[in-house]
Amino acid sequence: MSEYIVKPDPGDARLTERIIGVDQNGDVAETSVVVERPLTLFLNKQEIVTMMTIGDYPEYLAVGYLINQNMLAPEDEILGIDYDEEIEVVVVRTDRETDFEDKLRKKTLTSGCAQGTAFGDLMEKFEDTVLSPDAVLKTSWLYALTKTINTTPSLYLEAGAIHGCVLAEGDRPLLYMEDVGRHNAIDKIAGYMALNDIPASDKIFYTTGRLTSEMVIKTVQMGIPILVSRSGFTVWGVELARQAGLTLIGRARGRRFVALSGESRIVYDADPKDVPEEPRKLQRKAARGG
């Protein structure tokens, strides 16, 4: 199996801090804690949003956010992306000036963690997107992917309190992004795909987070036909997946999974009895929500 194009770096000193406390016995305990910091995004001269993020890949996060909020169209040309770490600002510059004040007034909070937002017209692209009918998901790929992802060194394994998202092709994971909010992780992947011209129609998207309406909408808008999670579903997430023809698979742990939409894409080419159960350490993390 080939190496990731991008993967987590749990050794990056910017992303975690060691903090001392006490454990259940009153003994001194030291643990890794994820760092979060603000990042203010501008599109040309317009301030769009301030996000809480771990701070890696700000350029991908900025572009992916704008794409997934329908603020950047396919015909828009990005002239530059300027990031200033000191003042925690990223500016995306395009070939046309844009004014999103009306759209920003319609902003609403979503069920996403941290500073997740969705706009009133988030569904603009959703209903018009047609996902590839030729995409397939072999169960052998699914088992191989979940094993590889779950054993990849990550902030999720190091410190918890974080979400991970992975873009995969077949049984190969390509991009693995993490952040304090699952929306940020998926936006980083969307930004990388856009800036590197990575096609979506034959890809698989994996997340450690819940399969909510937001996750489904963003996956469909990106044109990815298959969404997998180690976590569970929301009813609206399932309804939207069925409306869009998205293959939606949750509770994918070890040999187990449940598909609630798009089952026709699944090819059962592996015997679950031959797949080992998930290690107890990961089961405990999942039960605690990471």
DSSP 8-state secondary structure symbol assigned to residue 3: P
- Cα atoms in the 13 Å half-sphere on the side-chain side of 36: 17
User: pLDDT category, 259, cuts 50, 70, 90?
Assistant: very high
Q: Are 215 and 46 a contacting pair, CB within 8 Å?
A: no
Q: Which of 234, 231, 221, 212 is CA-nearest to residue 112?
A: 212
Main-chain phi, psi angles of 13, to 5 degrees: -65, -15
pLDDT tens figures, 3-29: 899 999 998 999 999 999 999 999 999
Place of tokens 């000036």: 97
Q: Which CATH entry fits the domain spanning 137-287: 2.30.110.10, 3.40.50.970, 3.40.140.10, 3.40.50.300? A: 3.40.140.10
- Inter-helix orientation angle 58-68/182-195, to 10°: 90
Q: Measure the CA–CA gap between 269 and 136, rounded to whole angstroms.
A: 12
pLDDT tens figures, 230-248: 999 999 999 999 999 999 9
Q: Measure the CA–CA gap between 235 and 228, rounded to whole angstroms.
A: 16
Average pLDDT over residues 207-223: 92
CA-to-CA separations, 35 to 58, 162, 204, in angstroms, rounded:
15, 10, 29
Percent of the chain with pLDDT strictly greater than 90? 71
